[in-house]
Structure 1
């Protein structure tokens, strides 16, 4: 016989409590919590350490023990998350159909293109740094490990993680621009001059 116990039922079996949240509200509260960092360790404690430190076996004992150690943490976390929910309410009122369309257009058109074609932006930025022209490589040039040219110099563009692998199998004779794609920027690293 196989039995499945959904997480919500595990919680109910252990606590005797059930929570019923209106549709979509837990998703919004999760997002508000992420943005406000309401349940970070500095607010509610490091849970993985606390549960190891706790010596009891009953939920009621855990609740009492936890609240003695962190008496204000639930209220502090609640205030932080609720403040973010309030900001969300204000933001939601500013979203109209045109705003949604613009967001989707930016995501599908602009971010997809720039996310996949950022090599040209790298070439252009470095070329501007040296006051040179640039161009993308032809397929034949790409087969030789060249991603583009700055002036008449063939350039290879590789992720920063490639530095670790250098010297394995591939030999690249052209200068290399290493990049590290961060959430809000691309950090370039190169040690050549043109």
Structure 2
């Protein structure tokens, strides 16, 4: 017998994924309080009792979307650590590629990004954890000789999260800039500064 929240079979997983996709769109477009389970199930062409085979409540499906966002973003940030032994001449491209991966995830999952990065109660905590992981990465990269020893990596990590957060909202999610261009601008600013 299937546990609540997981219905066995390929059709069950497809239906569950569809409910998550539609719920993400609804929450992103209408906000948490204005989103109704009745709208989600109507758009998914399932009954309301079917919804409860997969999710206990509106809160449960919203929380799962937040958790999916958090897990995917944390994985990308963990994978952004530069490996040892890179040539200094390749650093700009390597760092740009890793930040591009984060922006690409946000662009490909705009609803999930709005939910996890901006709407969720725990969005501040998510950003704090991301900043901590970035700081950990930067300190290791600093010890590997990639960055100056006199730079406070806590400040860099917090600044980077702030820049990413703001540019995602004002440029990326509005379709004004591509992930690669944003990443390139950020990396050049952080690596080379503003002085001509």
Higher strand share: 1
For the pair shown, the structure with the greater C-alpha radius of gyration is: 1
TM over 0.5: no
Of structures 1 and 2, the one scoring higher in RCO (CA 8 A, sep 6+) is 2
TM-score tier (shorter): under 0.3
Superposition TM-score, scaled by structure 1 size: 0.25
